[in-house]
Amino acid sequence: MQNVQVWGETLRLLVEMAATAAFALSGIMEAARKRLDAVGVCVVGFLAAFGGGTLRDLLLDQRPFFWVRHVEMLWGVLALCVLAMLFLRTRHFALTERAIQWPDALGLGLFAATGVHQALLLELPALVAVLMGLITGVFGGVLRDVVCNQIPAAFHDHRPYAVCAFAGGWVYVGLWQADAPGWVALVSCVGVTAGLRALSLWRNWQLPAWKT
């Protein structure tokens, strides 16, 4: 039984690291497209990777930040930025974007779950908890796009992204209130979020647009 728990914890860590790397890469590629310099590439990579979680901790008044407790993640993203500057070329972008879709979808689910979890621990209302999960998963990308001077992709590319985290967040809240074990809620939230995201990419679902 304990063996299973260790395995679960290791798996969670692997997903978290892969997701952080995927988020950072999305920032790095956006910065490269905008022809930013080395400092800009690093900053936008950091914003994309840590922006959502930092905003969550700021809103929930949690200190220290998760990247202060796990400073090795900062070093990892810094190394990733340097490696990307050295080896990643524009012609690799399309391939990289396809490759990071899956860790990104898993990370969206995982980050949403951690946001919902922290808000529920603070006994915040259900809707607020779901919004915190959404902010954790989505606002890294929003900050990345705001700094790169464009409208956030999550708000206008018509592909479900935040909506998946929203649905996954309600799953987490429901299971929490039904006193399900923590890992069931976590796995269900990640599964629903990533599953919906994968389905929407596969079936090319479109969010409703404004009717003029």
What is the binding site for a copy of itself (CB under 8 A)? Answer: 31-32, 34-41, 43-44, 54, 58-59, 61, 63-65, 67-68, 71, 74-75, 85, 89-90, 124-125, 127-128, 131, 142, 146-152, 154-158, 160-163, 207-212
Question: Cβ 101 to a copy of itself, closest distance in Å?
Answer: 18
Q: Which is nearer to a copy of itself, 90 or 204 (CB)?
A: 90
Q: Which is nearer to a copy of itself, 125 or 182 (CB)?
A: 125
* For helices 2-33 and 71-87, angle between their N-to-C axes, nearest 10 degrees: 40
C-alpha 30: how far from chain center: 16
What is the Cα–Cα distance from 212 to 209, expressed in whole angstroms? 9
Nearest 10 degrees: Cα torsion 140, 142, 144, 148: -170
Question: Cβ 63 to a copy of itself, closest distance in Å?
Answer: 5
* Residue 186 dihedral angles phi and psi, to the nearest 5°: -60, -50
Q: Which is nearer to a copy of itself, 11 or 151 (CB)?
A: 151
Question: Cβ 34 to a copy of itself, closest distance in Å?
Answer: 6
Let me know: does 51 contact 37? Beta carbons within 8 Å.
Answer: no
Q: Which is nearer to a copy of itself, 181 or 208 (CB)?
A: 208
Question: Cβ 5 to a copy of itself, closest distance in Å?
Answer: 28
Question: Cβ 57 to a copy of itself, closest distance in Å?
Answer: 9
Structure tokens belonging to residue 33 = 């497209």
CB-based burial of residue 11 (10 Å sphere; 0-12 exposed, 13-18 middle, 19+ buried)? exposed
